[in-house]
Amino acid sequence: MKQFRAHLQGAPLGVLFTWFTGFYFLGTYGIALLDGSSKLNFVSAFIRLGGALLVGGFMTAIIARQRRRDGGRNISIEINRAMKTGAVPEDADSSIWVPALKRRRTQNERAHWINPIGFGLFTLLGIWLITQDPTAVIPWVITVFFIGIGVFSIIQARNLVAKIDTLLQQLQGPSADNSRADAGTKTVG
């Protein structure tokens, strides 16, 4: 799974678009077929494919924007790697890394209060669906999934804020100040 995620982080946008579109199409169409709410026919497949293309395009646009704001695909990959390892590469340009890490920190701080609201609403929707038909399996699965992903996302956001703070300290710490002072004396003298 880690290799797959690493591949997706560095994948070209066309590959990401295909992956998101295919995953959404197969997931929603598969659930609809298992649930019995859809039949295997051309019209329903075409409609679901249209929705999958929209979702795939939206998700790809989000990743393209993130990469552009981070300074490109390679820097975005390096930032993700640094967040996993907890160490900033020696050749990291603080003028690019600091704003990118601060944006990610802000996103994760927002996730502390947005995720409970969003996943809480989806959990309530699942509970409402359960009350409509308690024997249906899909509403139970949806409810458990959103409770689990909500708790996981809150914990993950807190952990990421701590990791980002560590990386920012490495970039803005005393050694970074000394290297900037050395660079300043070289340009002045």
Tell me: pLDDT of 92 over 90: no
pLDDT score, position 89: 87
Q: 97 and 154 share a domain?
A: yes
Q: Report, as an integer, the average pLDDT of 150-163.
A: 91
pLDDT confidence bin for 38, thresholds 50/70/90: low
**Could you tell me if 97 and 123 lie in one domain?**
yes
Residue 77 covered by a domain: no
Q: What is the pLDDT of residue 186?
A: 41
**Poorest-confidence range of 29-43, 84-98, 112-126?**
29-43
Domain boundary among 11, 38, 70: 70
pLDDT at 182 over 70: no
Q: Is residue 56 situated within a structural domain?
A: yes
Q: Domain tally for the chain?
A: 2
CA–CA gap between residue 110 and residue 131 (Å, rounded):
32
Long-range contacts of 32-39 (CB under 8 A, 24+ apart): 34/138, 35/136, 35/138
Assess if residue 137 is contained within a domain. Answer: yes
Q: Which of 40, 70, 100 is the last residue of a domain?
A: 70
Long-range contacts of 103-111 (CB under 8 A, 24+ apart): 103/69, 104/79, 104/160, 104/164, 105/161, 105/164, 105/165, 105/168, 108/157, 108/158, 108/160, 108/161, 108/164, 109/157, 109/161, 111/153, 111/154, 111/157
> Which band of pLDDT confidence, cut at 50, 70 and 90, is reported for residue 1?
low
**Residue range of the domain that includes 13:** 1-70
Residues 104, 169, single domain; the answer is yes
Answer with the one of 18, 41, 70 that is the final residue of a domain: 70
